[in-house]
Structure 1
Amino acid sequence: MQSKAIKQQRPLAFPSKIGWQDYVVYIFFAIVLVFFSAVIGDSGFLTLTNMFNIVRATAMIAIMAIAMTFVISSGELDLSVGSTTALSALVSALVMKAGYSMFAGVAAGLISGLVVGSINGFFVTVIGIPSFLVTLGMMQFIRGFDMWITLTDPVPVTNETFNNIFGSGNLGTIPSLLVWAVLVTAVGHVTLKYTPFGRQVLSTGGNRMAAEYSGINTKKVKFITFLLSGLAASTAGMLYTGMMQTARFNFGTGAELLAIAAVILGGTSMFGGKGTIIGTLVGALLIGMINNGLIIMGLDVSQQMMVAGAIIILAVSFGKKPTI
């Protein structure tokens, strides 16, 4: 009887705090979507054609950002993805222009990204140079190499199969770029959240020493994340090439900053240990939607940059602050 009375007097347990900061990117996505729909009107913004335009403009950034999520979650950074994008685009185009098959061009492009990723990983994990400095130097070196190998001339791609698969084609009514973005997102989400490697990445970024004591080869984990980043950048480069049906040395200029912004907006900790692929995708789409809406509203480039930057700062400010 006494235990029953005690049980009845026990207060109900409610969550002490709802972590709404984890959903800031989704909240801002909804706010920006409603704002542009109201200001521009459904006929100019919320059309299927315009939604596909946003996806086409965002897909490559999203793919690079998904791989960047692994790098940042492991506690590192990769600033070379933009120039690597152009490198793989040019290498693929030059190989096909020389008369080799589409498969040879794709393989050459992917290998170029893996080479860059392995160089970054080597200097970071073996030599011990901070990833910011290594990838900053690689960014400059590769961009100069991109300009040198073609003397800044564009390289046209006439292989229709390549162009249709990588950017220009559609799967029914769905743009191939959307298919690529969904595929990479699905693979990245499953890998980070449900595989041992994903847990090792988060453990490495969260507490490297504790991860090593638990038997994780943190250097190997970080090396693989740089390989993934190079592979994603090379894939994005071929998607740019297929969409434009030509390769240019300036592909991916500034893409590294947009990719990092998408990752941080999505909720990944810039100090490592926490990452979300779905959030990264939404962050990339948010950036693409802002740029698209501002263009439709008729703002010039300088105004677009100012407004987009202010919105990104505002969104990050409302997000969960990292603890040091």
Structure 2
Amino acid sequence: MSIDTKALKKEPATAAQTKQWYGNWRDYVVYIGFVAIFVVFAILLQERGFLSANNLLNILRQTAIVAIMAMAMSFVLSAGEIDLSVGAIAGLTSVVAGMALMQYGIVAGVAAGLALGLLVGAVNGGLTAYFNIPSFLVTLGMMGISRGVGMWVSGTSPVPVIDDTFIFAFGSGNIGPVPVLVIWVAALGALAHVALRKTPFGRQVMAAGGNPIAARYSGVNVRKVKFQVLLLTGVAAAIAGMLYAGRLQSGRFQLGEGDELSVIAAVVLGGTSLFGGRGTVMGSIVGALLIGVINNGLILGGLEYSQQLIARGALIILAVAIGRGR
């Protein structure tokens, strides 16, 4: 009885090709899911105006702020860390920027908002990178601190934003038919994509998250990288807070509440590993759009808020399950 040695040699290659195909399919799952869900809602909710121009623009506006925070979170998760404070930082920034704007004008308002994001991001990054406190615990604590400070300085009351230039530039304006929020996402998305994919910093982020020990031996300053990515999410959350304030024309400590869950789900659904070493900015933006489409479709479908929360929770579990497979 003879053995076909050629067939045996081909079998491992076939298995490797199957594994590679499966991995590639998982890389595109967010795009496949987005198209599939969009088509389903377009068919089921056609008579309720799902495909109307106003509704589609509304989806873009609603998801833009989450998408901006998701871009920065892509760096954090790729580096093997996590930031649970982004939503609370956004709410606090909307209050602080609104108060500075009301007292001293637009330059002071924007400067105050960015300074706050830098400060909180530096605290998160410093405690995580240089004091070896897990980022989960640091940012969980910072979430409570930011929310409490926002309540305290505002007296739990909304801070009105009445500067027309600020309102136009940060959320409520349109350039032609295009909302300013979409322009923010496009500009920051292009910048973040290039930074993660094409620069030494992006490669260092991936190395720090994939194998920190090997990265150190390769000359990567892992502590510095982890500090920088958490600083980045602080700034992104501050920008998100100012966009909230401009879009809603007020600063409120409640703004951004719960966004951290949507942001993390969007990033993991988009193809970034929850455990570090792998990330994509474009996928995170599409993940945010997917969540926005689902939320919009559920609202148009008449689901109650409690049912929307159930759907969002299921989506987060799905995101984590996909992330474990990458």
Query: Structure 1 length normalisation: TM-score?
Result: 0.92
Q: Could you list the structure 1 runs, at least 4 aligned residues long, displaced by more than 2 angstroms after superposition.
A: 307-320
* Distance in 1, Cα, partners of 2:92 & 2:294: 28
Residue number in structure 1 paired with 2:29? 24
Deviation string 1:58-96 (CA, Å, 9 cap, x unpaired) is 111110111011011000011111111011111111011
Deviation string 1:246-303 (CA, Å, 9 cap, x unpaired) is 1001011011111111111111111100000011001000000000011011111011
Correspondent of 2:281 among 268, 273, 277? 277
* Distance in 1, Cα, partners of 2:98 & 2:232: 22
* Contact 2:60/2:289 (<8 A) preserved: yes
Correspondent of 1:74 among 71, 75, 79? 79
Q: Does residue 250 of the first structure (1) align with residue 254 of the second (2)?
A: yes
* Contact 1:113/1:234 (<8 A) preserved: yes
Kindly provide the amino acid, as one letter, of the partner of residue 236 in structure 1.
Answer: A
Residue number in structure 1 paired with 2:137? 133
* Distance in 2, Cα, partners of 1:297 & 1:66: 29
Structure 1 residues 27 and 319: CA distance shift in structure 2, 3 A: farther
* Contact 2:273/2:323 (<8 A) preserved: no
Correspondent of 1:219 among 216, 223, 227? 223
Correspondent of 2:43 among 28, 38, 51? 38
Query: Structure 2 length normalisation: TM-score?
Result: 0.92
**Deviation at residue 308 of structure 1 after TM alignment:** 3.4
* Contact 1:266/1:278 (<8 A) preserved: yes
* Distance in 2, Cα, partners of 1:188 & 1:62: 12
Q: Secondary structure at the match of 2:306?
A: helix
* Distance in 2, Cα, partners of 1:124 & 1:188: 22
* Distance in 2, Cα, partners of 1:183 & 1:126: 32
Correspondent of 1:193 among 197, 200, 210? 197
* Contact 2:269/2:322 (<8 A) preserved: no
Q: Does residue 306 of the first structure (1) align with residue 310 of the second (2)?
A: yes
Of Structure 1 and Structure 2, the greater helix share is in 2
* Contact 1:28/1:315 (<8 A) preserved: no
RMSD: 1.7
Residue number in structure 2 paired with 1:235? 239
| More divergent stretch after superposition (272-281 vs 86-95) | 86-95
Structure 1 residues 148 and 263: CA distance shift in structure 2, 3 A: same
Kindly provide the amino acid, as one letter, of the partner of residue 246 in structure 1.
Answer: S
* Contact 1:65/1:259 (<8 A) preserved: yes
Kindly provide the amino acid, as one letter, of the partner of residue 283 in structure 1.
Answer: G
Correspondent of 2:265 among 243, 261, 265? 261
Correspondent of 1:154 among 158, 165, 175? 158
Give the unaligned 5+ runs of structure 2: 1-8
Kindly provide the amino acid, as one letter, of the partner of residue 247 in structure 2.
Answer: M
Q: Does residue 87 of the first structure (1) align with residue 87 of the second (2)?
A: no
Residue number in structure 2 paired with 1:289? 293
* Contact 2:274/2:324 (<8 A) preserved: no
Percent of matched pairs sharing the same residue: 53
Give the unaligned 5+ runs of structure 1: 1-9
**Deviation at residue 309 of structure 1 after TM alignment:** 3.0
